[in-house]
Amino acid sequence: MARRLADSIWLRPEPKGRQPSLSRSQIAGAALAIADAEGFEQVTMRRVAARLRAGTMTLYHYVRTKDDLLALVDDALMAQVLVPSAELSKGWREAISAIARKTRAVLAQHSWALVSMQLAPPGPHAMEHFEQCLAALADAPLEPADKLVLLGSVDDLAFGS
């Protein structure tokens, strides 16, 4: 696990200077489109590169491994899970419920994700999701440990139902 964290795509700057110039967001979007249309098992470096009209070796400049690609896809999904702050209620029950409903809706759109994303390392948007959940529970009359238990239970319900 320590080696995996040290090799994390999130600890490396985004590569630049290649033609075509690709962003992590574009790469994740292409992989998501393939997974939604054909299933995650069809997401390969070659297929993603072709969808981006780039060479496979060009894609490897941006994404070293399939694990990196998995991390980008998971982060793109977690970006979709985030609830805009204007849509979050002030009450902690309503706020955490809104987050759970949004999470469930995103997972329903990407039915392949639950199984395929299990081993993905958390990225920036996963951290934002966690922070959003903690902020939603800030005023809950619970001890910090109980708030974490509640978050785990809500995520289990949203992800597992």
Q: What is the pLDDT of residues 47-106, one digit of tens each?
A: 999 999 999 998 998 999 888 999 999 999 999 999 998 888 789 999 999 999 999 999
The Cα 135–Cα 97 span in angstroms is: 13
By the 8 A CB rule, do 135 and 83 touch? Answer: no
For residue 10, the 8-state DSSP code is G
Degrees to nearest 5, angle at CA 99 with 26 and 130: 70
Q: What is the full DSSP assignment across 21-80?
A: ---HHHHHHHHHHHHHHH-GGG--HHHHHHHTT--HHHHHHH--SHHHHHHHHHHHHHHH
The structure's pTM equals 0.86
Q: Which tokens belong to 8?
A: 């994390």
Residues belonging to the chain: 161
Q: Is the four-CA dihedral 148, 78, 100, 161 of positive or negative sign?
A: negative
Query: Given a cut of 60, is residue 2 above it in pLDDT?
Result: no
Query: Given a cut of 70, is residue 3 above it in pLDDT?
Result: no
Average pLDDT along the chain = 88
What is the tens place of the pLDDT at every residue in 10-25? 888 887 776 668 999 9
By the 8 A CB rule, do 117 and 106 touch? Answer: no
